[in-house]
Chains A and B, each alone.
Chain A
Amino acid sequence: MLDIRNASFSYTDEDEEDTQHTSRVLHQVTASIEANEFVALLGRNGSGKSSFTRLLNGIEIPSEGTVQVEGKFTHHSPSLPLIRRAVQIVFQNPENQQVGMTVGEDIAFGLSNIGYPQQQMQERIAWAIDLVGLDADVDRPVTRLSGGEKQKLALAAVLALSPKYLILDEATSMLDPLARKQFVATLHEARKRHPFALIYITHHLEEVLEADRWVLFRNGRIHLDGPPAQFLNDEALLAECGLELPYYHALALALQAKGISVPASLGIEELRDLLCRFN
């Protein structure tokens, strides 16, 4: 479990004594994330969601309050190597995360860092490539991959380390819609075969309709934490936080409001069936 208690955090300029210029990015945040849970972190730019994830794997330590990963405090520095192995992050731009010249080297880098046995390395690399369905052999230069493939490689490189918690920080924002869909499908397929908790930051609600919980950040605080259904009818709140309902979802809600019974997971086929029944 990840347990965050009353955590506050601010970026301080060390040269600057003036506390007025200290910007506080998280205020008294309390939340917990269970093993294998799928949690979406939502909110506007600067609302604190990225800073929150940086507390989770000990990149940053809260200035007040605590963060525990599987019972280990992030402020206890001897625990950090274990914590950072348990909690991995994939960022927005795959190119900033690539360290190897080839697919194989890139995945091997993280494994070497954690002292993975050399003789089992190739097998593990192959396992990770297969897990994310990357259609490229180990010798493929990283520069020859498309954007979507690069992001799958970044995913493979962290999944090879068997994290218990995986944070994706707008990991699909540089992909085109088709590549984005494929990446999300890959992710869930990988979770089925090899469960881990998924902590997912996005502005695209259609990617997180299946999440167990949505956690909405506003001005450095958690504004609302609950199942997606709790948010979906509150269009004013969603709009205020820069979130747009997926088209079909909004259509389903609008039809339901008119007394027409349709599933929330309405698609074009269901819509066609509904209308053709009468035509």
Chain B
Amino acid sequence: MQIQLSGVSFIYEKKKKKKAATLAPTVLKQLNLTIHSGEMLAVAGKSGSGKSTFLQLLKGFLSPTTGSVLLDGVDPNTSKRPELFDQVGFIFQYPEHQLFATTVFDDIAFGLQSAKLPGEIVEQRVRKAMESVELDYEVFKDRSPFELSGGEKRRVAIAGVVVLEPKLLILDEPTAGLDLPSRTALFELLHHMNKNQGLTIIWVSHQLDEIVSHASRLLALQNGVFIADGSPEAALSDPVLLEAFGWEEPSALVVSRLLGQLGLSAGNTKLSPEEAAAIIAAALNQHEIIAK
């Protein structure tokens, strides 16, 4: 799905108190942005940056005070077609806290059953959604979501949104609280859905390594404006951005820069410790040979 923001501002207005409205701070200021179909976009922003408001505009939970949000070229707000926002899947932080049904199947099927779809279509789509989050249908469908592991519960929660077949998937800190193997597995899944189903994915992250490893683009919000929009690699060498988010330069980059300064390596920013050790060992051996 292609998303286009033109001159989007947002102010939380208190409708009855006109005086308060004039004092209400502008949460988003004149944002212009195009997100292309199939992007993997990471959004960074501290609390109060306007990040949540921005995401809620994309899902239609809020409408912009001025400007427009277009989904595939149509403004659902002004064209009175709010159903277009149904194509946007929104996954909240710790989505597993919202699991409620007695079986995995019922939990995932809830949205479809509410829409009164026929039983066989529901089953077919639940099966497909479970496959796309890599949960074996037969193994998991009758299990209680509450006895699953943290990573599995989160995948059930994601399947409950994916089953509605969104074209854009928004995830708010999807890896919060997950350990490293579960995080890796979750991103494999997102990349898979992004590639195979052409799903556009926007997720909130505060972790630079995660952004660098997985995003095709980084959008950073501060005080209602974008302070960065571009390749995650560019962020690595932006001291203002690093400082704003309390990020540290990845050690691999620091070591690779040092080696580069000493004429030992041509700036590979993802130098593994083993690769670095090999370069250092070779340099030290070389020196010993010359010394002899």
A residues near B, CB below 8 A? 21, 23, 44-46, 92, 146-147, 170, 173-179, 203, 242-248, 250-251, 253-255, 257-258, 260, 268, 271-272, 274-276, 278-279
Shortest CB distance A43–B (Å): 8
Q: A21-B144, A278-B287 are in contact. Are A178 and B246 (CB under 8 A)?
A: yes
Given contacts A176-B206, A247-B273, whether A272 and B258 have CB atoms under 8 Å apart is yes
Contacts of A170 in B (CB 8 A): 177
Q: Are B179 and A203 in contact (CB under 8 A)?
A: yes
Name the one of B179, B247, B252, B273 contacting A242, with C-beta atoms under 8 angstroms.
Answer: B179
Q: Are B180 and A244 in contact (CB under 8 A)?
A: yes
Q: Which 3 residue pairs spanning A and B have beta carbons closest together?
A: A176-B246, A254-B277, A178-B246
- Which chain A residues border B273 with CB–CB below 8 Å? 245, 247-248, 250-251, 253-254
Question: Is B24 an interface residue when CB atoms closer than 8 A count as contact?
Answer: no
Of the candidates A247, A258, A272, A276, the one whose C-beta lies within 8 Å of that of B281 is A258
Q: Which of B179, B245, B258 makes the CB contact (< 8 A) with A45?
A: B179
> Are the CB atoms of A268 and B177 closer together than 8 Å?
no
B181 at the interface (CB under 8 A from A): yes
Known: A173-B176, A176-B247. A260 touches B287 (CB 8 A): no
Partner of B262 from A176, A177, A260, A279 at Cβ < 8 Å: A279
Asked whether, in the complex, the Cβ of A257 is within 8 Å of the Cβ of B180, the reply is: no
> Digit string of B24-52 for contact with A (CB within 8 Å is 1, else 0)?
00000000000000000000001100000
**Residue among A45, A92, A278 with most chain B CB within 10 A:** A45
Could you pull out 14 A-B pairs where Cβ atoms are within 8 angstroms? A45-B177, A45-B182, A147-B46, A173-B177, A176-B246, A179-B246, A242-B181, A242-B182, A247-B251, A251-B276, A254-B276, A255-B280, A271-B255, A275-B283
Contacting residues, chain B, for A146 (C-beta < 8 A): 46
Shortest CB distance B73–A (Å): 37
Within 8 A of A (CB), among B171-190: 176-182
Binds A, one of B146-154, B158-166, B213-221: B146-154
Question: Within the complex, which residue of A45, A250, A254 is in contact with B178, where a contact is CB–CB below 8 Å?
Answer: A45
Q: How large is the interface on B (under 10, 10 to 19, 20 to 34, 35 or more residues)?
A: 35 or more
In whole angstroms, how far apart are the Cα atoms of A146 and B147 in the complex? Answer: 35
CA gap between A66 and B182 in the complex, in Å: 32
Which residues of A sit under 8 angstroms from B277, Cβ to Cβ?
A: 251, 254-255, 257-258, 260
Is B248 interfacial (CB-CB < 8 Å)? yes
List B residues at the A interface (Cβ < 8 Å): 46-47, 144, 147, 149-151, 176-182, 206, 208, 245-248, 250-252, 254-255, 258-259, 262, 264, 273-274, 276-278, 280-281, 283-284, 287
B176–A278 touching, CB < 8 Å: no
In the complex, which residue of chain A has the Cβ closest to the Cβ of B288?
A278
Residue of A nearest to B259 (CB): A275
B248 proximity list for chain A (CB < 8 A)? 177-178
Q: How far is the CB of A246 from chain B (nearest CB, A)?
A: 8
Among A170, A178, A244, find the residue whose CB has the most chain B CB atoms closer than 10 A.
Answer: A178
Interchain CA distance A279-B286 in the complex, whole Å = 11
B247–A275 CB distance below 8 A: no
**For residue B180, which residues in chain A have a CB less than 8 angstroms away from its CB?**
203, 242-244
| Shortest distance between the CB of A153 and any CB in chain B (Å) | 15
- Alpha-carbon gap, A274 to B287, bound state (A): 12
Contact A45 B150 (CB under 8 A): yes
* A203 CB → nearest B CB, Å: 5
Minimum distance in angstroms from A182 CB to a CB of chain B:
9
Which residues does chain A contribute within 8 Å of B149, judged by CB atoms?
A: 45-46
Distance in angstroms between the alpha carbons of A250 and B176 in the assembled complex: 25
The chain A residue sitting closest to B277, CB to CB, is A254
A271 to B255, CA, bound (A): 8
